[in-house]
Structure 1
Amino acid sequence: MEQKPIKPTHSIKINELIKFSEKTIKITKGNYLFQEGMTAEGLYIIISGKVQISKITSDGQELTFRICSQDDIVGEAILFSYSSRYLLTAKVIEDGEVALIRKDILEDELFKNSSLAFEFMKWMSDQYRKTQTKFRDLILHGKKGALFSTLIRMTNSYGVQQRNGILIDLPITNQELANFCGTSRESVNRALSELKKDGILSTNKGKITIHNLQYLKDEICCEDCPAIYCNIE
């Protein structure tokens, strides 16, 4: 049975936010919605497609934070900030469309609409909590633990139950996995080879099937956080 997509906070009325948008923009795989350091136009609501949010470290290494899809909001860190530049990079990984909402317009609406402001604050709190748990896993459990944590999160976001396990219905390369874990592709290659050898997972056409999810959870002493926080969206 296919799992329903997990969204950060269901209470935000996306349609209510979209009505404040200045325009909609077609996005194409491989292009950037914005890059770190660029002057910020505003924030974006994803109507369709997928966008990867990441940061490039000082040594050139890419660290991926999340993959955003329909109804997700990106670029939110610019709100109520003195900085007019984006802090992260948003790369399009699947063609689609986004709506642009100017920073000043949304800030004005949040000041005037206490109900919308409250829901937006809850959504921001969810994002902060999710980021905290990702860094916790990386710091406490090392590179291999970060990989296990990422795989668990992916089953919550894109998992489809199969007879032999949970298919992560998202094509992803070992380098992209490494970017989520803050490690090298070679380290991910070795870890995945061990997991395949032990029958914990298998791969087919760029997609991973987890055969023993409990093993991954046990290895990182998983606290079974709600899936609304334990995901990559």
Structure 2
Amino acid sequence: MENHVLQDYLNNHAFPIVTKKRKSYLTYEGLQDRYAYVLKDGIIKTSVISRDGREFNLRYIKGLEIVSLVKDEYSQFIDAPFNIRIESETAELYQLDRVQFWKDINQNRELQTYVKDYYRIMLLHSMKKMQQMLMNGKFGAVCTQIYELYDTFGVPVKNGILIDFVVTNEEIAHFCGITSASSVNRMIQQLKDAGAIEIHQRKFLIKDLELIKENIIF
């Protein structure tokens, strides 16, 4: 998926830019909003709240990406599908009138293709992650999430692959549907004992990626 199509579209319009600070929310699940948002810079996290009030994390997102364009093309106000929380010190997002954005998409073949590809990729990603979470058990789910963190934030360093972003065990629990962070603590310790990971300055350092992948059904 070629982000230059989206970037060219944004560059050709004077969209307002919203700046939010760390731990603040851009939208809440179910809150009516007339805008679509595109992440310009920073890191955000999407999540939903279960019926019993527990938070379930969906994804970390960084770099240029549409983060809230959903539902029909004509309703001016829609219910936000998930919570969007800022995870970097600050994040900047383009704010687009969603109805006008849909009109522009329908009149621009390249942008239309981009949006279709975006939704196709997001759907495949969601299906694959759900499969991995359901079929691998809790330990496999934690390994799946660490692998996804590697895919999003991994930076090769001299002695391994550094996940260059601080993620707490509690957040990992919320990604995996595990109610207790202490359960994640035990599984992280198991991975450390096996030599798969280390913790450096609160960040994961992957020492053996293949060992982590052995616990994931791809």
Asked if Structure 1 and Structure 2 have the same fold, meaning a TM-score greater than 0.5 normalized by the shorter chain, the answer is yes
Partner Cα distance (1:218, 1:81) in 2:
46
**Do residues 175 (structure 1) and 167 (structure 2) align?**
no
| Structure 1, unaligned runs of 5 or more | 1-8, 224-233
Deviations 1:27-55 (A, max 9, x none): 11111110001112211111111111111
Q: 2:143 aligns with which of 142, 148, 157?
A: 148
For 2:113, the equivalent position in structure 1 comes to 118
Over 3 Å counting, the alpha-carbon distance change for 1:138 and 1:151 in structure 2 is same
For 2:55, the equivalent position in structure 1 comes to 62
**Do residues 139 (structure 1) and 131 (structure 2) align?**
no
TM-score between both structures, scaled by the size of structure 1 = 0.86
| Structure 2, unaligned runs of 5 or more | none
Question: Following TM superposition, where does structure 1 have runs of at least 4 consecutive aligned residues deviating by more than 6 angstroms?
Answer: none
Deviations 1:178-199 (A, max 9, x none): 1111113121111001111222
CA contact (8 A) 2:5 2:110 kept: no
Deviation of 1:23 (Å): 1.3
Q: One-letter code of the match for 1:201?
A: I
**Do residues 15 (structure 1) and 3 (structure 2) align?**
no
Deviation of 1:16 (Å): 3.0
**Do residues 103 (structure 1) and 65 (structure 2) align?**
no
Deviations 1:82-107 (A, max 9, x none): 67111100001110211101111111
User: What's the C-alpha RMSD, in Å, of the aligned pairs?
Assistant: 1.7
For 2:82, the equivalent position in structure 1 comes to 88
For 2:199, the equivalent position in structure 1 comes to 203
Deviations 1:172-218 (A, max 9, x none): 11111111111131211110011112221111221001111111111
Q: One-letter code of the match for 2:59?
A: R
Partner Cα distance (2:74, 2:159) in 1:
48
Deviation of 1:20 (Å): 4.4
